[in-house]
Chain A
Amino acid sequence: MTYIVKPKIVHSGLQRNALGLTIRDYEGSMSTLCAGCGHDSITAAIVQAFFELHVPPHRVAKMSGIGCSSKTPAYFLSSAHGFNAVHGRMPSIATGASAANRSLYLLGISGDGDSLSIGLGQFSHAVRRNLNMLYIIENNGVYGLTKGQFSASADVGSKAKRGEMNKQQPIDPVQMAMAQGGTFVARSFSGDKDQLIPLLKAGIKHDGFGLIDIISPCVTFNDHEDSTKSYAYTRQFYHPAVHADFVPPAEEIKASYNRGNVMSVELHDGSRILLRKVSKDYSVHNRGAAIDYIRAHQRKGEIVTGLLYIDQGEPDMHGINRTASLPLNELPFDTLCPGTESLVSLQDLYR
């Protein structure tokens, strides 16, 4: 734990974004996680992504549960909104937040324990609801905060620091999210910011539920030799299938792309995701094939990463439920609270 603060230094090389803000304005308080934790690296990637997207920090709501991972919203966007929910219950709170204010960028930060053990049911429902949020699982294969017990994402055969082996099947949030209708599904690695930052930007701008499962080594309890979520292991079996570049609206696509290999997906705000296939036989629009591909590589011990599935056509929670088009705090009082007569006539509909 570091207890000295990262000083705010305006150095001569510090750049400003379109809002005139520097990257320092997107940071948060000093991390209290173990030095070298993958989660901190993800924090830095999130900071960079929001800075590059020119998002005003106060237009973001950071939602989390319990765990080392769930602590991290304190370490970025200190002027954003935030809610630290009880263990595994962040999706419900996020649903409420989205219902009340649909204009905020909703960012969920969770862990493999928070989402795949205690919060598995909540997680599934957020996916099938197509809640308009980016949901990040900082996946280290253990309960870091409670000192390194196996989590539900631990691979069969992976050994804990003390030597015991995990024999239960892992839950893969990526396959689950695809199966349950997630509309933006990706996997990445805290140690690969080149891949992660564009994915974060695309996920933030995606309409509907976006999941990024990020392998994020726990340096303290799960970075040893027989771990399958260590820095060394992840790098060895890392298999990027599709690289996604994020292109903001109205920006030229650089000519250096080889056309045949690149597919462009347009997002609702006019920005585009350029998908560069690293692996030829991969399709980002075919759930079944994608799952097969991931499984096949899983059998070889490989971790498929990149933007694995995207669907821009599905309505999100607001679309499905035909909710008001404005956030509740922007509705005129009469519309928000139309009075006793309206209530009575509504109730009459169900008599």
Chain B
Amino acid sequence: MKPTKTDGTEYFHQVVDCQWACPAHTDVPQYIRLIAQGEFTEAYMLNRESNVFPGILGRVCDRPCEPACRRVRVEDKPVAICRLKRVIADNRGDITDRLPQAPTKKNGKRIALVGAGCASLTVANDLLPLGYECVIFEALGKMGGLMRTNIPAFRLPASVLDEEMGYIIDMGVDLRLNSPIESMRDFLKEDYDAVFVGSGAPKGKDLNIPGRDESGRIHIGIFWLESVAFGHTESIGKNVLIIGVGNTAMDCCRTSLRLGAKSVKVMARKPRAFFKASDWELEDAEEEKVEIVVNHSPKSFVMKGGKLVGINFDKMEYEIDEKGRITQSEIVGEAFFPCDDVVLAIGQDNAFPWIERDIGIEFDEWQVPTVDRITFESTRPGVFFGGDAAFGPENIIWAVEHGHQAAISIDKYCQGAPLTERLPRGVNLQSAKMGIHEWSYSNDYDPSGRRIMPHVDLRERFKKLDIEVELGFSIEQVVTEVERCLNCDLQTVFTAQQCIECDACIDICPVDCLTITKNGDEEKIKENLKTPPLNPSQPLYVSEPLKHTARVMVKDENLCVHCGLCAERCPTGAWDMQKSTLIIPYAVDEAEQNESLCQQRQKTG
């Protein structure tokens, strides 16, 4: 194999699996180390740079980082990355003087943003400091989008939402509530330099089976949650059936319990392995005694005397192949489940009734707009999309990342720079060696298991709709949990010229991920590894030929726990532990670049 190229950003970034998996590339290991040092404010600011809403995301992020966390390769459970973020938000000091400021002298450009959800707010967060004027139009009477209307307050308190969105609004957003945009054609005639559409995916899917239109007690999940959030719905029947088993269903069933339901069943068409809801959301619902019924496909709503009395289901059976896919399904019977109310939580769609189809903004057959994955520009120059509005429903952290990228594009668009000429990501490496056996990070492997989030007592939590269930980690829990992080950003960096092939690193490595072997093709090298490579998605590092024998040093990145023992045992310093820092360009950085380019152009005439 050819020596692995580690000079670009990709290689070292990928080793930091959590940061690689995070859509906004939050610097997870660094913020965890800052927590360990008690630097909560510093950690908050580091988070805010990439994910903008640490307090919100520390509670309700979809956390794609956690399944990616390397910790699961040496034990069952990942580091509680998300909950540690909340620790930062809960314990930070005053940050008002550290927030970005909008300059008093504006740059003369006006940007319109449709919808006051997390996507639009991120765009405003990035553009205000550059001197843009940002006007947000929101249909509802409150800002926050689905975070306010759909994510229940028992998971995300309104105060947290208000505070973190407030930081942005206070920078000088012109926020116009109760201002739905009803015609994009007319809107585009107004005097804006660019438009950002962050209007979400606001249409809840319906279930058209017999009886659907005969009762008022059949609710569409996201609308129902919204009406609960605004206090329009204050109760529900004793017996509730939730159709669907995604995250929306989990919020609907738990909300029902808080509105007076005594028995709540979540009805799933397929077996558990096919559930869309995250494991932790399922766990939290089941802790509240919600029953999840599998293999039941709704067939018809049953009415008696004009009143909904229940649902008839087809009982299903599935054949599943060895890869876990359904190959065949069969109806094996029927079952009736009584209920007073039904909540449909079977998905969301995009809907843009307010955007005319003849104004240069193209849509595909599913009514999703055609949006560039890098620039977030639609087919009409100057109109950008982000968040759920761009590619259909996703989550908050994706909406934030879309916002960052759209902000870069909007700035370039307004300054007349090409949208696709974007700064590349970079990586900085710095040796972590402090002394003969001292490293600038806590390199000891801590075998402790994941800390369990304490919850409000089961009798207490239903008393009000907005009692936050999760209490947050105690200080003792934090102290243990931070040590579980493996410091994956502390890279093992190898200098082949220095290696004397003494094997010390190979012998000491507690996870047997190093091998010195004859060079050959990938298959051959894999055969000779000390531990068989189990995770093909993880890169193999192959060194330059070693000077004594021309063999190569091979590292399977999969298992490394970044303990630094290889570097500690190496007599020649061929291995070193180096802290990698990912450099992610934001609109500010791009703007600086644009400016210096412009100056250069002026100089060279």
- Is this pair of chains taken from one and the same complex? yes
Chain A interface residues (CB < 8 Å from chain B):
1-4, 6-15, 23, 34-38, 40-41, 43-44, 190-191, 193, 217, 219, 223, 231-232, 235
Kindly name the residue among B445, B504, B571 whose own CB sees the greatest number of chain A CB atoms within 10 A. B504
Q: Which of B369-415 contact A (CB under 8 A)?
A: none
A347, chain B: closest CB distance, angstroms = 55
Q: Which of B419-455 contact A (CB under 8 A)?
A: 437, 443-445, 447
B534 A35 Cβ-Cβ under 8 A: no
B481, chain A: closest CB distance, angstroms = 18
Q: A6-B510, A191-B502 are in contact. Are A36 and B570 (CB under 8 A)?
A: yes
A318, chain B: closest CB distance, angstroms = 35
B537, chain A: closest CB distance, angstroms = 14
Question: 7 other contacts beyond A231-B502, A235-B549, with CB at 8 A cut-off?
Answer: A1-B437, A11-B511, A14-B531, A15-B531, A35-B569, A223-B500, A232-B548
Q: A219 is contacted by which of B502, B508, B563 (Cβ under 8 Å)? A: B502
A207, chain B: closest CB distance, angstroms = 30
Whether, in the assembled complex, B227 has its beta carbon less than 8 Å from a beta carbon of chain A, the answer is: no
Q: Which of B484-536 contact A (CB under 8 A)?
A: 500-504, 506-508, 510-512, 531-534
Q: With a CB–CB cut-off of 8 A, which chain B residues contact A8?
A: 447, 510
A4 B559 Cβ-Cβ under 8 A: no
Whether, in the assembled complex, B311 has its beta carbon less than 8 Å from a beta carbon of chain A, the answer is: no
Q: A2-B569, A11-B73, A35-B568 are in contact. Are A193 and B503 (CB under 8 A)?
A: yes
Whether, in the assembled complex, B88 has its beta carbon less than 8 Å from a beta carbon of chain A, the answer is: no
Whether, in the assembled complex, B183 has its beta carbon less than 8 Å from a beta carbon of chain A, the answer is: no
A215, chain B: closest CB distance, angstroms = 12
What CA separation (Å) do A191 and B503 show in the bound complex?
7
A-B contact pairs, 13 of them (CB 8 A): A2-B437, A4-B443, A4-B565, A6-B565, A9-B561, A23-B512, A35-B568, A36-B502, A37-B502, A41-B503, A191-B502, A191-B503, A219-B500
A6 B512 Cβ-Cβ under 8 A: no
A264, chain B: closest CB distance, angstroms = 25
Q: B559 is contacted by which of A11, A217, A223, A231 (Cβ under 8 Å)? A: A11
B568 A40 Cβ-Cβ under 8 A: no
What CA separation (Å) do A219 and B570 show in the bound complex?
11
> Which single residue of chain B is at the shortest CB-CB distance from A75?
B507
Interface size, chain B (Cβ < 8 Å): 35
What CA separation (Å) do A4 and B507 show in the bound complex?
15
B542, chain A: closest CB distance, angstroms = 18
Q: With a CB–CB cut-off of 8 A, which chain A residues contact B549?
A: 235
> Which single residue of chain B is at the shortest CB-CB distance from A24?
B510
What CA separation (Å) do A34 and B510 show in the bound complex?
18
Q: List 9 A-B pairs, minimum CB-CB distance, nearest first.
A: A36-B571, A44-B507, A13-B531, A7-B445, A41-B503, A36-B502, A35-B569, A11-B511, A235-B548
Q: Mark B542-581, 1 if CB is under 8 A from A, else 0.
A: 0000001100000000110101010011111000000000
Q: B548 is contacted by which of A11, A43, A231 (Cβ under 8 Å)? A: A231
Q: With a CB–CB cut-off of 8 A, which chain A residues contact B533?
A: 13
Q: With a CB–CB cut-off of 8 A, which chain B residues contact A13?
A: 511-512, 531-534, 558-559
Q: With a CB–CB cut-off of 8 A, which chain B residues contact A219?
A: 500, 502, 571
Whether, in the assembled complex, B320 has its beta carbon less than 8 Å from a beta carbon of chain A, the answer is: no
Whether, in the assembled complex, B583 has its beta carbon less than 8 Å from a beta carbon of chain A, the answer is: no
The main secondary structure of chain A at its interface with chain B is loop
Q: A7-B447, A11-B559, A14-B531 are in contact. Are A35 and B548 (CB under 8 A)?
A: no
A232 B503 Cβ-Cβ under 8 A: no
A36 B508 Cβ-Cβ under 8 A: no
A3 B571 Cβ-Cβ under 8 A: no
Q: With a CB–CB cut-off of 8 A, which chain B residues contact A231?
A: 500-502, 548
Q: With a CB–CB cut-off of 8 A, which chain B residues contact A235?
A: 501, 548-549
What CA separation (Å) do A3 and B572 show in the bound complex?
18
B503 A190 Cβ-Cβ under 8 A: yes
B547, chain A: closest CB distance, angstroms = 9
Chain B interface residues (CB < 8 Å from chain A):
73-75, 437, 443-445, 447, 500-504, 506-508, 510-512, 531-534, 548-549, 558-559, 561, 563, 565, 568-572
A243, chain B: closest CB distance, angstroms = 15
> Which single residue of chain B is at the shortest CB-CB distance from A10?
B74
What CA separation (Å) do A231 and B548 show in the bound complex?
8
Q: A4-B568, A9-B74 are in contact. Are A191 and B510 (CB under 8 A)?
A: no
B507 A43 Cβ-Cβ under 8 A: yes
Q: With a CB–CB cut-off of 8 A, which chain A residues contact B437?
A: 1-4
A6 B502 Cβ-Cβ under 8 A: no
- A-B pair count, CB < 8 Å, reads 101
> Which single residue of chain A is at the shortest CB-CB distance from B531?
A13
A44 B503 Cβ-Cβ under 8 A: yes
B570 A35 Cβ-Cβ under 8 A: yes
Q: With a CB–CB cut-off of 8 A, which chain A residues contact B444?
A: 4, 7
Q: With a CB–CB cut-off of 8 A, which chain B residues contact A190?
A: 502-503
What CA separation (Å) do A2 and B533 show in the bound complex?
28
Q: With a CB–CB cut-off of 8 A, which chain A residues contact B504?
A: 35-37, 40-41
What CA separation (Å) do A309 and B445 show in the bound complex?
46
Q: A13-B534, A235-B548 are in contact. Are A36 and B572 (CB under 8 A)?
A: yes
Q: A41-B502, A191-B502 are in contact. Are A7 and B510 (CB under 8 A)?
A: yes
B546, chain A: closest CB distance, angstroms = 10
A23, chain B: closest CB distance, angstroms = 8
Q: With a CB–CB cut-off of 8 A, which chain B residues contact A12?
A: 73-74, 534, 559
What CA separation (Å) do A44 and B530 show in the bound complex?
12
> Which single residue of chain A is at the shortest CB-CB distance from B549?
A235
A11 B74 Cβ-Cβ under 8 A: yes
Q: With a CB–CB cut-off of 8 A, which chain B residues contact A41?
A: 502-504, 507
B77, chain A: closest CB distance, angstroms = 14
What CA separation (Å) do A223 and B565 show in the bound complex?
22
A9 B510 Cβ-Cβ under 8 A: yes
What CA separation (Å) do A3 and B182 show in the bound complex?
70
A177, chain B: closest CB distance, angstroms = 26
What CA separation (Å) do A13 and B563 show in the bound complex?
17
> Which single residue of chain A is at the shortest CB-CB distance from B436?
A1
Q: With a CB–CB cut-off of 8 A, which chain B residues contact A2?
A: 437, 508, 565, 568-569
Kindly name the residue among B437, B445, B503 whose own CB sees the greatest number of chain A CB atoms within 10 A. B503
> Which single residue of chain A is at the shortest CB-CB distance from B446?
A7
> Which single residue of chain A is at the shortest CB-CB distance from B518?
A194
> Which single residue of chain B is at the shortest CB-CB distance from A38?
B502
A86, chain B: closest CB distance, angstroms = 29
What CA separation (Å) do A13 and B532 show in the bound complex?
7
B499, chain A: closest CB distance, angstroms = 10
Q: With a CB–CB cut-off of 8 A, which chain A residues contact B75?
A: 10
B202, chain A: closest CB distance, angstroms = 43
Q: With a CB–CB cut-off of 8 A, which chain B residues contact A223?
A: 500
> Which single residue of chain B is at the shortest CB-CB distance from A234?
B548
B552, chain A: closest CB distance, angstroms = 15
What CA separation (Å) do A14 and B563 show in the bound complex?
17
B206, chain A: closest CB distance, angstroms = 45
Q: With a CB–CB cut-off of 8 A, which chain B residues contact A10?
A: 74-75
What CA separation (Å) do A219 and B502 show in the bound complex?
9
Q: With a CB–CB cut-off of 8 A, which chain B residues contact A15?
A: 531
Q: With a CB–CB cut-off of 8 A, which chain A residues contact B73?
A: 11-12
What CA separation (Å) do A13 and B512 show in the bound complex?
9
B571 A35 Cβ-Cβ under 8 A: yes
What CA separation (Å) do A36 and B502 show in the bound complex?
6
> Which single residue of chain A is at the shortest CB-CB distance from B556?
A13
What CA separation (Å) do A1 and B500 show in the bound complex?
18
What CA separation (Å) do A3 and B443 show in the bound complex?
12
> Which single residue of chain A is at the shortest CB-CB distance from B75?
A10
> Which single residue of chain A is at the shortest CB-CB distance from B73?
A12
Q: With a CB–CB cut-off of 8 A, which chain A residues contact B558?
A: 13
Q: With a CB–CB cut-off of 8 A, which chain B residues contact A38?
A: 502
What CA separation (Å) do A87 and B143 show in the bound complex?
82
What CA separation (Å) do A232 and B549 show in the bound complex?
9
A138, chain B: closest CB distance, angstroms = 14
What CA separation (Å) do A6 and B447 show in the bound complex?
12
Q: With a CB–CB cut-off of 8 A, which chain B residues contact A36?
A: 500, 502, 504, 569-572
Q: With a CB–CB cut-off of 8 A, which chain A residues contact B74?
A: 9-12
